[in-house]
Chain A
Amino acid sequence: MADYRELWQKLGMDLEKHDALCEALPQLYGGVYLSQENRPEGMNYYNFVVSEVHGLRIKELDDHKTQGGKVVGTFCIFVPDELILAAGAIGVGLCAGSQFWIEDGEKVLPRNICPLVKAFTGAKLSGTCPYFQSCDMIIGETTCDAKKKAWEILDEYVDTYVMDLPQMKREKDYKKWAEEIYDLKDRLEKLTGNAITEEKLHESIKLCNQKRKVLQRLYNARKALNVPISGKDALLISQIAFYDNPERFIEMTNKLCDELEERIEKGISVNKEGDKRILISGTPMAVPNWKIHHIIETSGAVVVAEETCTGTRYFENLVDETPTTMDGMIKALADRYLKINCACFTPNKGREEDIIRLAKEYKADGVIYNSLQFCHTYNIEYTKVEKALKEAGIPVLFIESDYSNDDVGQIKTRVEAFLEMIG
């Protein structure tokens, strides 16, 4: 990696602390990723992205800012990227998946809340995430109580705009969500000084759909009996989708998919005979949270899909490209985004149906339901999901965990016992 210290300094980062963060990544990445056998060639691009995670992409954001452009951070897949792009801004999904940030987050937040919220708050407070530091504004949403209240604290450090996400899916909720999207449009126009025209919005709708399509293509490849790519690698690609340049990401991921489809034809796979196929369901896994996938894939199983925000929920359903008027496009956006079945909604029967459908589509032998610690909505929803899965004859294991490593031994025992049980 080139020397980016000057750039990091300009972003007001705590260089010493940041060094400590950067030191841990190569070893972690090496152990989890580079140790895998028989990886597709195309993963080299993503290896490169990770090796430059706080470098090259940050430089691109900086160049964009130097030319007067804005950078906007998001935390949730309900926030429509289309508007950010149409306003000529760059959107970055802020990851918040490291134990490293928990300590700083706990300086202002209670300990008994979700690690994701503690981590993103800690990332900002400690000044060690160059993406966060590059953001001119962040867009929060009201998906859970911990986030809702954390925005008020974050707003003291960075301009924080909050979208009010409805928690039911009635006709009036769709209307309300469309209004929220309109409000975001105004706010982004004010931030960037650029008008979001019908033409620009239509272009960005098409671009984001392209990104969804390539991720759908990637996931389709995982349905093959000879799985051409590990769950860990697929997860990494999803995670990178949140902050990479969209055009480049689409191009490189399509290239990888060509290779994966070729592998399927030739029968080259990452799984061994007898390896169980696992569907993950639950809360998002932000970089560098590869914990559960790593445990599963070193225990004689392969993860074939993720029903998570860093999985199918991110790319299922396209935005209707037919409308070209502003009203029509905003409505199309509201309709697509509100279709996401997140546990913050009540009722949320659609999610049970999604999990059962995905388990069948991906020929999963079992489901591992993974919830972040203290994530009330996903934790509680397990009771309903478990019942539905058992009725459908699909074995399921529940794991509640955070970013720390102290429960890895126990989780491994449970995962292995689960695999022995369904074996």
Chain B
Amino acid sequence: MISIGIDIGSVCAKAAAYDGKNMYLFMQPTGWNLKKTGEELYRKILEISGGYETDVVGIVGTGYGRVSIPFATKKVTEITCHAKGAVYLNPTTRTIIDVGGQDSKAISIDDKGNVLDFIMNDKCAAGTGRFLQVMAHVLEVEVDELEHLAAQSAPRDINSMCAVFAESEVISLLAAGATKESIASGILHSISNKIAHIANRIKIRDSVFFTGGVSKNEQIRTILEKKLKCTIYTHENAQFAGAVGAALLGYEVRS
């Protein structure tokens, strides 16, 4: 008996397979053809899990691309899936901060991984991975390099909350002779401010668990800890929380 969770995000597509004991994971870039991506993920994760198609008891789709998985037996939002996945990855989790490619959210949950309350960003990109992408582009570096650059300098203030205005602000700072390092540091502080703003709108309870692609950035996690005055945990597979939750939900329904 295998349950499969597929989480198609704006940047990365994640899959998880759960057989009641082991959790198998796989990830690839989302690309432009969501339907094809979904099918590829399904084949890959089944192969990785070593299971057969006849073993599959449920396929749960989540993420913004959940509507593009026609073969999914169920579609569940990433908010509900993250809650389940986060408790699996870190059982003491009561608050989730999830920052993905195009949205960020804070979710308050109970010990069973049920959602008690949540808050999600509006259509603005300021507190999301997209913000880092835009800024990295201006600095002509890769998103992954921002952290390394930022570690070498104190931050320059970037005050604009809007990604578009912040881009102009960064260009002005470069023109005024600011170093890439200080700007990179400013960028990480700026996105952390916006994430903290969202997190502060719900009641933060321990433990706080950081998920989504942006959770891989250690510096953002550290800045957030200072701003929110709490310890923030993450996990090497935190980016898979949605897919893991989806796989668990599919398994729960059947068992």
Contacts and interface: CB of A to CB of B under 8 A. Distances in A.
A420 interface: yes
B181 interface: no
Contact of A421 (B64, B103, B118, B122): B118
A413 B122 contact: no
B64 A413 contact: yes
Given A407-B123, A420-B115, A413 B80 contact: no
A267 to B, nearest CB: 29
Nearest to A402: B123
A416 interface: yes
Interface string B132-150: 0000000000000000000
Contacts of A416: 77
A63 B121 CA distance: 50
B105 to A, nearest CB: 9
Interface in B40-75: 64
Contacts of B77: 413, 416-417, 420
B27 to A, nearest CB: 21
B120 A420 contact: no
B79 interface: yes
A175 interface: no
A410 B115 contact: no
A417 B76 CA distance: 8
B78 interface: yes
A407 B122 contact: yes
Interface string B97-136: 0000001000000000011111011110000000000000
Contact of A410 (B76, B116, B118, B123): B123
Contacts of A255: none
Given A417-B118, A420-B115, A421-B115, A409 B64 contact: yes
A266 B114 CA distance: 38
A406 interface: yes
Contacts of B123: 406-407, 410
A379 to B, nearest CB: 12
Nearest to B117: A421
Contact of B80 (A406, A409, A410, A417): A417
Interface residues of B, number: 16
Nearest to A416: B77
Nearest to A373: B122
Nearest to A409: B64
| Contact residues on A (Cβ < 8 Å of other chain), bracket | 10 to 19
Main secondary structure of the interface of B (DSSP, over half): mixed
Contacts of B117: 421
Interface in A370-417: 400, 406-407, 409-410, 413-414, 416-417
Contacts of A400: 122
Contacts of A417: 77-80, 115, 118, 120
A416 B77 CA distance: 7
Contacts of A421: 79-80, 114-118
B122 A420 contact: no
Centre residue among A407, A416, A417, A420 by max chain B CB count within 10 A = A417
Nearest to B123: A407
Contacts of A410: 103, 120-123
B56 to A, nearest CB: 23
Interface in A45-83: none
Contacts of B118: 414, 417, 421
Contacts of B121: 410
Contacts of B120: 410, 413-414, 417
A52 B220 CA distance: 57
A383 to B, nearest CB: 10
Interface string B150-164: 000000000000000
Nearest to B119: A398
Contacts of B122: 400, 407, 410
Nearest to A395: B117
Contact of B78 (A406, A407, A413): A413
A98 B198 CA distance: 30
A392 to B, nearest CB: 15
A416 B81 CA distance: 12
A406 B76 CA distance: 21
A417 B116 CA distance: 11
Contacts of B76: 420
Interface string A16-35: 00000000000000000000
B7 to A, nearest CB: 13
B103 A420 contact: no
A400 B201 CA distance: 15
Contacts of A414: 79, 118, 120
A410 B77 CA distance: 11
A301 to B, nearest CB: 14
Contacts of A413: 64, 77-79, 120
Contacts of B64: 409, 413
Nearest to B109: A421
A173 to B, nearest CB: 34
B63 to A, nearest CB: 9
A414 B122 CA distance: 10
A148 B116 CA distance: 40
B11 to A, nearest CB: 15
8 contacts: A406-B123, A416-B77, A417-B77, A417-B79, A417-B80, A420-B76, A420-B80, A421-B117
Given A407-B122, A413-B120, A421-B117, 4 more contacts: A400-B122, A407-B123, A410-B103, A421-B79
Q: Which 5 pairs show the lowest CB-CB distances between chains A and B?
A: A417-B79, A417-B77, A407-B123, A421-B115, A420-B80
Interface of B: 64, 76-80, 103, 114-118, 120-123
